[in-house]
Chains A and B, each alone.
Chain A
Amino acid sequence: MTGPTDETIGRRRFLGYVVAAPTLVAAAELVPSAPAATPAAAVSPEAAAAAGLPSPDLTELLDLNDVMTAAALPTSNLISVEVGTDGMVSFALPRAEVGQGITTSTAMLIAEELAVPLERVRVTLADARPELLFNQLTGGSNTTVSTYTPIRVAASVARLRLTQAAAAELGVPAAELRLEGGAVVAPSGRRLDIGALAVKAASASTRQVSVELAPRAGFSVIGRPHNRIDALAAVTGRKKFTMDLDVPDAKPTMVCRPPTINGKVDSVSNLAEVRAMPGVTDAVVIATGVAVRAETFGQCIDAVRALRVTWKPGTAAGKSDESVLRELAAAELPLGLRPPTPTVEATFTFHFRGNSALEPNCAIADVRAGRAEIWSALKSPIVAQQAIAAKLGLPVGKVTVHVTEGGGSFGRKLFFDAALEAAEVSQKIGKPVKLMWHRADDARQGRVHPMATSRVRAAYLGQTVLSYKQRHTSVSTDLGHGLGEIFTALAARLPVGDVGFSQTFFHLSQAMSYDFGASSHLLAETDKDFNTGSMRNVYSPDVTCARELVVDQLAARMGKDPYRFRHSFLRDDRSRAVLARAAEAGGWGRAMAPGTAQGIAFHAEYKSVSACLVEIDCRPETVNRTVRDAVTGPRVTKVVFAVDVGLAVNPRGLEAQMMGGISDGIALALTSSLHLRDGYFLEASWDNYFYTRQWNTPLDLQVIVMPSTSEQPGGAGELAVAGSMAAVACAYGRATGTMPTTFPINHGTLSFTPKPTVPPVPPSPTDGLDHAR
């Protein structure tokens, strides 16, 4: 059931509910119409292969967003908008805000439909609601895609009820009334504020009503740039993150962690001594290490450093970058016989990358007899609630999980490692805890983007690409945060046959945008010994980077310009338009000094298309700049990024997401990776793990939001990473004359002195005053 349920109901007509409540509560029943393919309608890849046909690109039939949107179908009627007597409109968003701007875009949808000023819309984050099943998972750049219509329908129901209440009040037919600036306005000019109508518009019983959504042509909020609704709180320090919450007696807590990945406590020789340290209230062994609780986090750090623990080996004991690379080589799926035509072949290596946000893993837990209360920024709060309940031995209904605003995620907060730990500690010591990971913990024991290789073979003849094969081989990606459950529930409806979660995810997220004849991309995964996760844009940055580098090689073989080659092989107008816009705005083909070059790349995902043009400076005077404790290297001097998300709800927020994705793409191509040695990652600081810094930032950045090409918004949160990483890699290859094959390009040089692993966290410095400036 996707879209109109009755033939007599028009294109923009939807059914919603007025919910029984003292003031007006309106709810939506439907989710947006999605081209949800049925198994019968989909051509299975196996069938196509058997018929000797080029395999249809699965993402054309159904992509990840369709799966998530379809999964949200049965429960979306529980999304409700409330109007209060104070004239404020409230909505508890069943998603996590972690910086991507969805509270702002959600408020915009409601403001549009209800004709209220944006500042009168209050968007909060919903607690874990098990009844929502799959409709409370934030990921796959799916939030706006899946909530765009239901939220507007709920707001529209509210609009209808407010208008009806005003009609009765004013003795004027409802059809003659309009909403404007948070009031219902009569032809006479008389205004009734929606707050004054909130009780009259309420219903004593829950009833279904039919509403018509505002037509796109009349939009005055959606599609116009808006600043973030939480910006003032952010710049004044008033925005509250988990560790800023004042939960009574929830004292600072940290965990002394093992020297190798997932090592376990064997014994502790000085627990009593540590418990007697200044400020320390508790010290207790837990599943992942030894937890200490103290009056301040500073005293926790001191206690963690003082603990004398013997450890059992971890899950990756003895492993290194080199040994994992050998495992990947052994797991690689065959490319098959080389065709008789000319080919371009290349193999690329992508090293482990850290998935840490700036806010470290953290959670507050208050576990009492028979109940528990958790606060944490969680993108899969229902799964977290279930796992915590199981860990504590409590019924799910006795575990309250509050979703707090997150200090960044990039996929990291799909997992709830800190919440699970906090619950365990609180239960063991019988006190509330405010648990936080040290930065070194986050770098060494946190979630990582798995190491991967990508082998590509493209066969061509004359000016035709006959086939394109890509074999992506990766350390296993842990999808155990709820996405796997979505795939299981919808397995019967997916045209991918009996394959695992990761393979399903891979197939659903990888599009072949070029007319390259018979194309196939396969994923093989190996080794579950690492703590991995779905880092922003998941497989796509690596897969796209490898593909776009090979595209440049193909263009060179055919004697074509990289831009013109892409333009002639892209399959549709929308893709060609975004590529052409980037090339035009970025001055593609302009004369560049030796050692500098342009690069261009294309990426499509989440029902969106993007193209990125970069200019890079690889001249020695730039590469050899010195900044203390840093990687300088080649500098991306200019980025032009063109994006078409179908319908951009908030172009200003969309630009922000592209800018962030570009910072990620630059880091993935040039500077940021983890080095695995002897079962642990060497990195333990932001001056070891070289995410993009100001000295790596492009001096000139232009994001171009293409005019709307759809009635529906596509995904944006992760979109920019793949195209920008690929464009940087292509530019680097053109500037240096050598195609890069290992990423990031500086991985072979260790640019820092590794910190000790015992104690697991570095000492707190004491020389802060010496650095005042």
Chain B
Amino acid sequence: MPEHTFRVNGEQVTVDVADDVRLLWVLRDILGITGPKYGCGINVCKACTSHLNGKAVNPCAIPVKDLRPSDEVTTIEGLPATVGQELHPMQRAWLEQDVAQCGYCQPGQIMAAVALVNRVAAEGRTITDADLDGIRNICRCGTYVRIRQAIRKGAESM
């Protein structure tokens, strides 16, 4: 079987798996990194949202062969290390607002939130209601209002 090399949460990994297996399953079923969740498998629910080179992506839609050795995949497990802290400011905001209910979607929500805040900051502006309305991540527990509050709070300390 072909070998694929890329970086996950700061470490180089090589996996021996068919080209077309999607990154989500490489992370979960082969590498045992279970923070990114399955909720649809078709890039709709966004429960698996992680970062690729700092941008939000959905591993359920990325064949592992698309990754290059220098590509850096960051899952929720690796998020704090991107800022050299025990918790990322967005995770702290999530704790302050007590956002999570069942928690299943929350790793994806947090990863999407961090990418959104970074994108908005790069555009030289602050988060608007329209930005928050644009988040597609599903939360079936309906925690949307606290998610909005946490993103605004987290953005202040990012």
A contacts, CB < 8 Å to B? 98-101, 227-228, 230-241, 243-244, 246, 252, 278-279, 295-299, 301-302, 356-360, 405-410, 436, 438-439, 627, 629, 652, 656, 659-664, 685-687, 691-695, 697-699, 701, 761-762, 764-769, 771-773
Smallest CB-CB separation from B35: which chain A residue? A237
Measured CB to CB, the closest approach of chain B to A219, in angstroms, equals 20
Contact A99 B102, beta carbon cutoff 8 Å: yes
Contact A773 B55, beta carbon cutoff 8 Å: yes
Contact B142 A663, beta carbon cutoff 8 Å: yes
B145 touches which one: A691, A701, A767 (CB < 8 A)? A701
Contact A227 B98, beta carbon cutoff 8 Å: yes
Contact B61 A771, beta carbon cutoff 8 Å: yes
Contact B21 A407, beta carbon cutoff 8 Å: no
Cα distance, A768 to B140, chains bound together (Å): 23
Most buried by A among B21, B63, B95: B21
Contact B102 A358, beta carbon cutoff 8 Å: yes
Measured CB to CB, the closest approach of chain A to B17, in angstroms, equals 7
Asked whether any CB of chain A lies closer than 8 Å to the CB of B117, the reply is: no
Which residues does chain A contribute within 8 Å of B144, judged by CB atoms? 663, 692-694, 697
Smallest CB-CB separation from A377: which chain B residue? B102
Known contacts A241-B104, A298-B21; decide if A685 and B76 are in contact (CB<8 Å). Answer: no
Cα distance, A239 to B102, chains bound together (Å): 10
Asked whether any CB of chain A lies closer than 8 Å to the CB of B13, the reply is: no
Contact B62 A407, beta carbon cutoff 8 Å: no
A652 touches which one: B17, B24, B80, B98 (CB < 8 A)? B98
Cα distance, A297 to B147, chains bound together (Å): 30
A98 touches which one: B66, B102, B107 (CB < 8 A)? B102
Cα distance, A233 to B87, chains bound together (Å): 12
Contact B145 A659, beta carbon cutoff 8 Å: yes
Contact B132 A408, beta carbon cutoff 8 Å: no
Known contacts A694-B134, A771-B43; decide if A764 and B106 are in contact (CB<8 Å). Answer: no
Contact A240 B34, beta carbon cutoff 8 Å: yes
Measured CB to CB, the closest approach of chain A to B52, in angstroms, equals 6
Cα distance, A699 to B115, chains bound together (Å): 22
Contact B42 A685, beta carbon cutoff 8 Å: yes
A359 touches which one: B30, B39, B119, B147 (CB < 8 A)? B39
23 A-B pairs in the complex with CB atoms less than 8 angstroms apart: A98-B102, A99-B101, A101-B101, A228-B100, A231-B103, A235-B94, A235-B99, A237-B77, A243-B38, A278-B18, A296-B25, A298-B21, A357-B104, A358-B139, A359-B104, A408-B104, A438-B41, A656-B98, A656-B101, A686-B44, A764-B42, A771-B43, A771-B57
Contact A407 B30, beta carbon cutoff 8 Å: no
Which residues does chain A contribute within 8 Å of B58, judged by CB atoms? 768, 771
Smallest CB-CB separation from B52: which chain A residue? A772
- B contact residues, range: 35 or more
Measured CB to CB, the closest approach of chain A to B5, in angstroms, equals 17
B contacts, CB < 8 Å to A? 17-18, 20-26, 28-30, 32, 34-45, 47, 52-53, 55-63, 66, 75-77, 80, 87, 91, 94-95, 98-107, 110, 115, 119, 129, 132-148
Contact B22 A298, beta carbon cutoff 8 Å: yes
Contact B146 A659, beta carbon cutoff 8 Å: yes
Known contacts A664-B142, A692-B144; decide if A298 and B39 are in contact (CB<8 Å). Answer: no
Which residues does chain B contribute within 8 Å of A236, judged by CB atoms? 35, 76-77, 80, 87, 91
Which residues does chain B contribute within 8 Å of A659, judged by CB atoms? 142-143, 145-146
Contact A297 B25, beta carbon cutoff 8 Å: yes
Which residues does chain A contribute within 8 Å of B134, judged by CB atoms? 627, 694-695
Known contacts A228-B98, A241-B104, A693-B136; decide if A769 and B45 are in contact (CB<8 Å). Answer: no
Cα distance, A246 to B28, chains bound together (Å): 11
Most buried by A among B30, B62, B75, B91: B62
Most buried by B among A101, A237, A438, A439: A237
Cα distance, A98 to B141, chains bound together (Å): 10
Which residues does chain B contribute within 8 Å of A358, judged by CB atoms? 37, 39, 45, 47, 102, 104-105, 138-141
Measured CB to CB, the closest approach of chain A to B87, in angstroms, equals 7
Contact B145 A698, beta carbon cutoff 8 Å: yes
Measured CB to CB, the closest approach of chain A to B67, in angstroms, equals 9
Known contacts A240-B34, A764-B61; decide if A692 and B142 are in contact (CB<8 Å). Answer: yes
